[in-house]
Structure 1
Amino acid sequence: MRLGFVLREMFIGLRRNVSMALSVVLVTMVSLFFLGAGLLVQQQVDILKGQWYDRVQVSIFLCGPESLPANCPAGAVTAAQRDAVRAELTTGSLAPLVDEVFYESQAQAYDNFVEQVDPTLAENVTPDQLPESFRVRLVEPDRYDEVRQAFVGYPGVEDVPDQRAVLGPLFSALDGATLVALVLAALMLVCAVLLVSTTIRLAAFSRRREVGIMRLVGASRWLILLPFVLEGIIATVLGAALASGALWALVEFGLGEVQARPDFTTRLVAVPEVLWPTMPAMFAVGVLLAVLASLVSLRRHLRV
């Protein structure tokens, strides 16, 4: 009997405030869509970091005839210095950190250069102008700095740049995009909280006589409050469902089309990332938002 009463009161409240309930649904949908988008962007950043950091190689450029004296005061690398670098990587103290070592001669560097640049530009470069190098793939990419620091100032080594210096700004930009999406989501959630609170207050005010009668006949506090709380939950759950559907469509038909291109090799977030953990997080935040907004609003504006 009590359950039937609660549900009946809930539907009466939704029917009386249809326009406000629709407003809650739409605002909640937009806010949770931004929240889900922010979570997906963060997951995409993690995917890119995992893919690209695993491909990071420490490049050890050796001194050549064209090297600057400031970097190579002793001139071009000698065979003994080259062997010392190789030994340090393969059998020395750094060996446990190293997965593979690739040696690139000046001729190989020139061939790779020609393949990557415009032919007219390649005509002005000769093999002896390009440095030979070792490319080191690490067992644990996060420990790249240990290898890099070991060869800074090493005899015969001109420079030890790292690809993370290039990837860093990109990941900072992606982190910034995540922050913007989450800030927008927070602002929209605030709007949703205010709208839910207003809707519940109006519903409570329109039924103040019924509430008074229920108190006179001994109805408990929660029996009176529950219909109002459920109204907010229903509205926000509908908003979360619409936001989840929009996010699923964006990933499935937007990013999915990009991922399906044969020349696109970077993995993008897909439907599984939407289904977990993004979608449950959106519903959980929506329900929590409705419960808190309803209880706070009723406590301050409804005497029961």
Structure 2
Amino acid sequence: MRHTLSETWSGLRRNASMTLAVVVTMWVSLTLFGAGLLVAQQVERLKDDWYDKVEISVFLCVADSRGGNCVPGEPATDAQRTTIEETLRSNPEVAEVFYETREQAYQQFREYYANNDPILKSTTVDMMQDSFRVKLKNPQEYQGVISAVSGLPGVQQVQDLRKFLDPMFAWLNLARWATVGLSGLLLLAAALQIGNTIRLAAYSRRREIGIMRLVGASNWYIMLPFLLESLIAAVGGALLACATLAAVEQFVIVGRAAVEIPTVRWVDWGNVGWVMASLAVVAVALSIIPTLIATRRFLRV
């Protein structure tokens, strides 16, 4: 064991600059990879929270409605309103149906724009619309409900909040995959750099390796110093990456984002711990696999 540790230290000292380059490359690539995993978990949390609040709004015709299934100058009748409500309640995808009168809509409007006098003065209760607010059992299944009521008489418009959320999540997913893709390229670069570093170290000790093979030393005994060299470099990069992600969680998410936007369920330390464990596994794999490949040709007598 003393010989193995001595050879490992000797290899690290001789290739100090390349080892440092490997550590920095692993640090950057693993940090980006971990950030991509955290972004992915944050997107899933936002989807779970926001899609659960998604509701469909069915706006009924008023006297001055234009378009939809409205007759100009005629609001939705009681019979039409009853038909719309029965259609919604009988749909198996609907969890709850709330009827909101124009007076209730106007009251909510006044509360929302309480500090905007020009808008309040220019808006009256007659400008509001009756509507049905529909909660879905599965927010992903909404097309059937929309198609069931969008063609009914008395319906001016069916509004689904998903059309506002889906583009946002599309951009978030794009950012996630861009981060993971870039980190993947950097991880590949780190693996190649580790392989080249170990290959050069093995080449400089090729005579010593040949003598050890001739006297019967096992492959693992010969490879162990090289494995430890690459493992130390990878673990160093992984520790720096974990420290960076911990700093982001503490100072950016917990210290700023969670305070300024408390309504959002941000990724927590449990998520960060899972990402750190993933980074450790990736770092070990990136240190072992290139080393085994790089030293294989030098183990032949």
**Shared fold per TM-score greater than 0.5:** yes
1:100 aligns with 2:96: yes
What is the match of residue 52 of structure 2? 54
What is the match of residue 154 of structure 2? 156
- Work out the CA distance in 2 between the residues paired with 1:124 and 1:234: 70
Provide the secondary structure at the position in 2 that maps to 1:67.
Answer: coil
Deviation at 1:258, TM superposition (A): 2.7
Alignment RMSD (CA, Å) = 2.0
Deviation at 1:79, TM superposition (A): 0.7
Q: Which amino acid aligns with 2:273?
A: L
Contact 2:69/2:154 (<8 A) preserved: no
Q: Find the partner of 1:285 among 264, 282, 286.
A: 282
Deviation at 1:122, TM superposition (A): 2.8
Contact 1:65/1:128 (<8 A) preserved: no
Offset from partner CA, 1:54-113 (integer Å, 9 cap, x none): 0001111111112114531373210111122222333x2x1x433322211112222222
For residues 26-175 of structure 1, the aligned pairs below 5 Å read 26-73=24-71, 75-90=74-89, 92=90, 94=91, 96-117=92-113, 118-175=116-173
- Work out the CA distance in 2 between the residues paired with 1:98 and 1:192: 52
> Runs of 5+ in structure 2 lacking a partner?
none
Q: Which amino acid aligns with 1:287?
A: V
1:296 aligns with 2:290: no
What is the match of residue 224 of structure 2? 226
How many matched pairs? 298
Change (3 A) 1:127 1:294: same
**What is the TM-score of this pair, normalised by structure 1?**
0.91
Offset from partner CA, 1:237-294 (integer Å, 9 cap, x none): 1211110111011112210013542762101111110101x11211111111112211
Q: Which amino acid aligns with 2:99?
A: Y
Contact 1:36/1:279 (<8 A) preserved: yes
Deviation at 1:4, TM superposition (A): 4.2
What is the match of residue 209 of structure 1? 207
For residues 165-204 of structure 1, the aligned pairs below 5 Å read 165-204=163-202
Q: Which moved more, 1:34-43 or 1:8-17?
A: 8-17
Contact 2:67/2:156 (<8 A) preserved: no
Task: Determine what percentage of the aligned residue pairs are the same residue.
Answer: 45
Q: Find the partner of 2:264 among 263, 266, 273.
A: 266
Change (3 A) 1:194 1:263: closer
Change (3 A) 1:114 1:301: farther
Provide the secondary structure at the position in 2 that maps to 1:77.
Answer: coil
Change (3 A) 1:259 1:303: same
Q: Which moved more, 1:45-54 or 1:278-287?
A: 278-287
Change (3 A) 1:108 1:151: same
> Runs of 5+ in structure 1 lacking a partner?
none
Change (3 A) 1:187 1:262: closer
- Work out the CA distance in 2 between the residues paired with 1:37 and 1:217: 49
- Work out the CA distance in 2 between the residues paired with 1:263 and 1:48: 13
